[in-house]
Amino acid sequence: MKGLRFAVLFLMTFLLLSPVIKLKKRVKNKPLILVLQDNSSSMLNHPDSVKIRSALDSLKDQLTSELSGVADLKWYAFSDSVQKETSPDYKGNLSNYSDAIQTVAGQHAYEKPAAMLVIGDGIYNAGQNPVNLVKTLGYPVYSVLEGDTTLHSDLRISRVRANPTAFPGKAFPVEVEISGQGLQPGQNRISITQNGRVVGQRIIRITGPSVFLQESFRVKSDKPGLQHYKIQVNPVAGEQNIANNTRILTIDVLNNQRKILILAGAPHPDIGALTDALESDPQFRVVVAPFAHFEDYSPQKFNLLIFYQLPGTGGAGISHLKRFIDSRTSRWFILGAKSSISAFNKLNTGMKIVGGNEQLADVQMKINPGFGLFHPDIRLNEWLGTQMPLVVPEGKTEVEPFMETMFYQTGKNDENPALVMGEQKGIKKAILAGEGIWKWRISAMSVDGNEGLFNDWIVNTARYLALKRNEDQFNVHFNRMVLANETVRFSATLFNAIYEPVRNSAVTLDLTDDAGKLFHYVFTEGDDGYELDAGHLTPGSYHFSAIAKVGTDSLKESGDFEVMATQTEMLETRANQQVMKAMAEYSGGKAYYASQLAQLFPNMKKLLQSKSERTEEVVMMDAIRYEFVLFLLVILLAIEWFLRRYWGSY
């Protein structure tokens, strides 16, 4: 009996020390299946969309019912983005299969999925061909084929190309691609209208069951701002999808005509050639200031100053140009026979000509292939090689690192820069070492029949220089045109009176849609200023007004932008089941129609049985938590009590 009491006391003392028991458990893990469901609007492209949606919901229920017991299902809905565990609403504007596969596979790369199940119609209109991706997954892709494969008669506008910006009074090109299938030979009409007014139209001929046409128009707008144009082809007989017969084109017609002042010490034919080239672009208005009238003009009222052979060897020197040189207006120096190179070298323009002793040389020009500030016409280099030499100041040209070279001299000074440009402390500068460009213009007119190549490099240089960085205290940056599937973002910079960045300020923005509904937002501070993500907005026109506080002052900025509807999902509505089948074939899986789920489930379960794994888990647990230990302690205490009673120890 003493031994029994000792055992009980020893066990109780031992448990008071909180011993831990180490156990190993073998656990059977469910294989992982990644399920991707197309959530784009083309999935419901059927006369009875309610029936199709019900069938898709039923499909998800069947998959969950049959496979959730033997597999761990991870559901994702995708269109232009990927969302986890989201009930599909089939409102997506794009179908990016490759991004969805790559994103989901990357998130579960270390979990070794057993398979991927893709449910969709195979119509991808963003990203790359998904077939190229599935080969690298390392596990099979099973496809469930949805969508309508019937070939209906369909004539559609498949693509519209146009520059997003234009200028008042200047015609801009619009290129339209038209395609179709299931057609009857005949005629159709394509038209471009604005506010019901026809601005361009023509007859197109359909010669066979399928067609691909490219039509070019030139459209002009005299009104600045966001202009909307409806491009339309007439529906053909038996056409079900007429949404793709119409495209809306939005063009931002800019109203900020830029003013250029040419300062000249004396008349020269180059000045006329420059003026004509610059005014070939409606955004420029050119004023020529002769030497005697420099005082009549203020540099702050111009976007670009052109110093033609100034400072000069006689007449206009640096003292006459001081107001212009000290301004923050962009400038373009053109050097020639009348230029004072020694005075020019003192201006800190980013370029110097040294060792020439004010001598001149006749030199031809060539393009620098590494020039990157803008893209000159690809024919320009060959054209320059046929032109007359320019009169260039002799000497070695030294260029600062912030300047880029567009033209090099040819001949003995093969790598001597002749036209350079760049930006220094917020001021854009360009220097052309050479006079006589008027000869180039005459050559362009007489030999080429137009001045296009001559105008091109001059206009592009002026565009670069005249587009000056905004130095207001409060600036809000945004895109004037945003697609409906894109988020609307704003960024803002805020400075005090001496142009130092202002931090921790309250910056707000009020947004009004075309129905007058008001939305209020607050910017958050970022590394480079202030940021605002307004999310996705419904298509339409919007006006914003932003306010920032700097001390006791309130600074305001306003603007307009357009959220444009996307029609990508309606361009091609016939299911692309070849893509779905190829994804399955190249990955070692199999494709099934929605009506063949009875065949899919046994095959999937067979795969899952071969992929199921047992893992060993180590469990650490306090001994006192085991019921057996407590039960043993109670039994020993009961026996000890019984023996004492039996032997009369009490």
By the 8 A CB rule, do 142 and 167 touch?
A: no
Alpha-helical segments (H) within 326-373: 341-344
pLDDT at position 472: 66
Q: Is 435 helix (H, G, I), strand (E, B) or coil?
A: strand
Average pLDDT over residues 425-450: 86
Rounded distance, CA 491 to CA 481, Å? 15
Rounded distance, CA 576 to CA 146, Å? 9
CA distances from 540 to 56, 231, 462, 511, 561 (A): 32, 18, 34, 12, 9
CATH value of 154-253 in 3.90.1330.10, 3.40.20.10, 1.10.260.40, 2.60.40.10: 2.60.40.10
Give tens-digit pLDDT for 224-276. Answer: 888 889 999 998 887 777 878 888 888 888 776 789 999 998 899 999 999 99
The token pair at 378 is 């690809």
The per-residue pLDDT of the chain, averaged, comes to 83
- Write phi, then psi, for 124 (nearest 5 degrees): -105, 130
Give tens-digit pLDDT for 93-130. Answer: 777 888 888 888 888 888 888 888 888 877 777 777 88
The token pair at 530 is 């202030």
Rounded distance, CA 151 to CA 427, Å? 60
The token pair at 586 is 């190249």
Q: For residue 562, which amino acid is it? A: E
Rounded distance, CA 393 to CA 453, Å? 25
Rounded distance, CA 490 to CA 477, Å? 6
Cα 101 from chain centre? 21
Query: Is the predicted pLDDT of residue 192 greater than 80, yes or no?
Result: yes
Q: Class of the 258-466 domain? A: alpha beta
Per-domain residue ranges for the chain?
2-27+620-646, 31-149+574-611, 154-253, 258-466, 474-564
How does strand 351-354 pair with strand 304-308? unpaired
pLDDT at position 274: 95
Based on its alpha-carbon atoms, the radius of gyration of the chain, rounded to whole angstroms, reads 38
Greatest mean pLDDT among 221-225, 254-258, 419-423: 419-423
Average pLDDT over residues 79-98: 78
Which strand (E) or helix (H) includes residue 51?
helix 49-67
Instruction: Categorize the per-residue pLDDT at 286 as very low, low, confident or very high, splitting at 50, 70 and 90.
Output: very high
The token pair at 562 is 């357009």
Question: 219: Cβ–Cβ under 8 A, 6 or more apart, which residues?
Answer: 171, 172, 174, 192, 199, 200, 229
pLDDT at position 336: 92
Average pLDDT over residues 439-459: 83
Is 258-466 the same fold as 31-149+574-611?
Answer: yes
pTM of the model: 0.55
Give tens-digit pLDDT for 469-480. Answer: 555 678 888 888
Say yes or no: domain 474-564 is CATH 2.60.120.200: no
Average pLDDT over residues 211-228: 87
By the 8 A CB rule, do 260 and 434 touch?
A: no
Query: Is the predicted pLDDT of residue 307 greater than 90, yes or no?
Result: yes
CATH value of 31-149+574-611 in 3.30.1540.10, 3.40.50.2000, 3.40.50.150, 3.40.50.410: 3.40.50.410
- Write phi, then psi, for 59 (nearest 5 degrees): -60, -45
Give tens-digit pLDDT for 329-345. Answer: 999 999 999 999 989 99
Alpha-helical segments (H) within 266-336: 269-278, 318-325
Average pLDDT over residues 566-575: 66
Query: Is the predicted pLDDT of residue 152 greater than 80, yes or no?
Result: no
